[in-house]
Chains A and B, each alone.
Chain A
Amino acid sequence: MDGPEGLRAPVLECVDVGKRFGAVQALDGLTMSLGAGATGLLGANGAGKSTLLRTALGLTRPDRGSVRILGLDTVRERSEVRRRVGFMPEHPCLPNDMSAQDVCVSLARMRGLGRRDAVRRTSEVLFAVGLEEERRRPVGSYSLGMQQRTKLAQALVHGPDVVLLDEPTSGLDPAGREEMLAIVRRLSTELGIRVVASSHVLDDIERTCDEVVVLRSGTLAAQRPVLVGHDPSGPAELRVSGDVGSFAAALEPRVAPFGVSLAPTATGDIGLSSSPDAALDAVRDLAADLGVGVERLAPAARGLEDVVVDAMAGGTR
């Protein structure tokens, strides 16, 4: 199992990784290091998410650069990678004529578990993903949500240190999606399994991951923690109607006692160094006194969505 070194090593580390398929440059000098308990890979179609996951699993050999998962070289140490990594592909990958129980037992045995361990672990993972009642039915008779859960169960059955999930909510209805997101979140928070999940949907990543990585055209476009909420008294931006300069001059002495300083923003608005309630009250009162309209008063910190949209559209990191 995961030793102390394995725990310290980054989940996934890429150094100048390049991979080309014919005319398409799927990965283009990708360099990054993922260390969070759960990391979400975001990107448009063709951004390189699936190629990155396949390269991390050793299914695709990079043209250049190196990829390490849990500190293991994915080309030279594939047997150890296979032992310590679980994988849930996006596409259907289960034999339709086998039951979920047989699929999991069979894969657990191939991954080196003894017969008794394989059966016990299968019961545990099928219970964990909510399939214990249906485990003996053929996979072909399952709903899409149940098939997704079976794929997740097989990824966990050998007790991996990290699981790579390729679009885990793909094709699920809203109820199935909710269930899958809850299970994925549990993996890193309760079960101690590190997760790398790719998705098109920012909301899925925000709800299940600690860090988000945005890929664009095979390169790293952004990497930042997923923040739950924001500081309500942090820096803010104020836009008012009328003469902005005179409003700022009048506002400055009113907010200075609260430790708030003003500075113009790049967009010509008034930037507040912080936004305690008293300072916001002062803004409101001054606007009322001068008969000025407050058009916008918002936190200056950019939200995750802004960062992701900018990154996917070609903005800076």
Chain B
Amino acid sequence: MTEVDPRQSPRAVLHDIRYSRFAGRLQPRRSAVGSFVASGIRRPLGLRRSAGAKVWPFLLLAAAYLPALAVVAVPLLVPAVQVQPTDLIGYPQLLTTNSVVLLAFVATSIPSMLTRDRRDRVLSLYFATALSWVEYVVGVVLAAVALLALIVLGPMLVLFVGSIATADAPGTWFADNAGDLPRIVGAAALVVLFHTSLGLAIGALTSKRVFAVGGYLAVVLVGPTLTGVVAAVTGADWPLSLDPASGPIRLATTFIGGGLGDPGVLAWVVWVVVVVGGFGVLAGRYAKGGDA
């Protein structure tokens, strides 16, 4: 065994942390935008914030995952129960059950992703020295999509994976039901894109968080009432297609079976108008690249 010369192997290293000019290599822009997206996901969840900031978002997350976890946990923990989780609650029912949680999460998190930056007046910093307006808008949209996927897609994936785990022959069950996976993702994408676009568009139209939250709630709470009244008066189902709260859910359930009835072409038109229009509002609001 060789002796280590202590003079050649210092036990501690002194780092000079005084300011120096940065001469390192810059990452590609996608990495910078990825960092912005990660930051955009962390803030609404209260990560790297006080404990109080985590309470509401994690309460909603728990409420969203509870049904799926419960129906998976029962057959897993109680061997006597020989039932598949998807027999206890199907994907359409899970989506419908979580719709209230989703609306609450969107109202309190998505519009404020934009209003918060304007409240903090941080946009001039971003646009002057960090991000282009396109990178900003893309980053916010991706962060919002990821957050809502956590609420909408996550529980359905838990149900899917839990069903594999609780199946008598997991391999066979997966082979038989693998086709559900793209349908689940497609259904979740319909709901997530709709509410991302709606929430961000409303958030882009005002700098006050309270107005943004109120505006979104007004749309998703007053909308069903109005469309319900019109449907009752006319005796037709088409007004229900205009309902911003249940409309995207109705479309999504057509993907995953056991739907709430045929949503009709009008529901698709409304979906496209809201999604395209919402992103258009967002782009129009920030296209100047200023902070007004």
Contacts and interface: CB of A to CB of B under 8 A. Distances in A.
B88 interface: no
B21 A1 contact: yes
- In the A-B complex, the 5 residue pairs with the smallest Cβ-Cβ separation, listed nearest first, are A159-B22, A109-B35, A112-B26, A128-B19, A57-B128
7 contacts: A59-B124, A59-B290, A82-B131, A109-B32, A125-B19, A128-B19, A155-B129
Contact of A107 (B20, B23, B120, B130): B130
Interface of B: 17-29, 31-32, 35-36, 39, 48-50, 53, 116, 120-122, 124-132, 289-291
Given A59-B289, A60-B290, A92-B121, A110 B126 contact: yes
Contacts of A110: 32, 35-36, 126, 130-131
B22 A113 contact: yes
Given A113-B26, A124-B18, A106 B35 contact: yes
A261 interface: no
A111 B124 contact: no
Chain A interface size range: 35 or more
Given A109-B36, A110-B32, 7 more contacts: A57-B129, A59-B291, A82-B132, A98-B48, A109-B35, A113-B24, A114-B31
Contacts of A117: 22, 24
Contacts of A107: 125, 129-130
Contact of A113 (B17, B27, B127, B132): B27
A123 interface: yes
B86 to A, nearest CB: 41
B139 to A, nearest CB: 9
A112 B31 contact: yes
Tell me which of A60, A86, A110, A156 has the highest count of chain B C-beta atoms within 10 A of its own C-beta. Answer: A110
B114 to A, nearest CB: 14
B32 to A, nearest CB: 5
Contact of A114 (B24, B127, B291): B24
Nearest to B122: A93
B128 A82 contact: yes
Contact of B125 (A89, A96, A159): A89
Contacts of A111: 26, 32, 129-130
Interface string A213-245: 000000000000000000000000000000000
Contacts, number: 118
B23 A106 contact: no
A183 B130 CA distance: 23
A191 B21 contact: yes
A78 B134 CA distance: 13
A96 B24 CA distance: 30
B51 to A, nearest CB: 13
Interface in A56-110: 57-60, 78-79, 82-83, 85-87, 89, 91-98, 102, 106-107, 109-110
B33 to A, nearest CB: 8
Contacts of B290: 59-60
Given A94-B122, A121-B22, A127-B18, A58 B27 contact: no
A123 B17 CA distance: 7
Contacts of A192: 21
A59 B286 CA distance: 12
Given A79-B132, A86-B129, A89-B124, A124 B48 contact: no
Contacts of A198: none
Tell me which of B48, B122, B131, B289 has the highest count of chain A C-beta atoms within 10 A of its own C-beta. Answer: B122
Contacts of A124: 17-20
A275 interface: no
A226 B84 CA distance: 82
Contacts of B31: 109, 112, 114
A218 B48 CA distance: 44
Contacts of B20: 124
Contacts of B18: 124, 127-128
Contacts of A109: 31-32, 35-36, 39
A154 interface: yes
A123 B24 CA distance: 15
A58 B288 CA distance: 10
Nearest to B49: A97
A84 B36 CA distance: 19
A1 B23 contact: yes
A158 interface: yes
A92 B123 CA distance: 11
Nearest to B29: A112
A89 B123 CA distance: 11
Contact of A91 (B28, B121, B129): B121
Contacts of A97: 49-50, 53
Nearest to A159: B22
B179 to A, nearest CB: 39
Nearest to B20: A124
A65 B229 CA distance: 58
A231 B3 CA distance: 68
Contacts of B132: 78-79, 82
Contacts of A158: 22, 129
Contacts of B24: 113-114, 117
A93 to B, nearest CB: 5
Contact of B289 (A58, A93, A113, A155): A58
Contacts of B22: 1, 113, 117, 121, 158-159
B130 A82 contact: yes
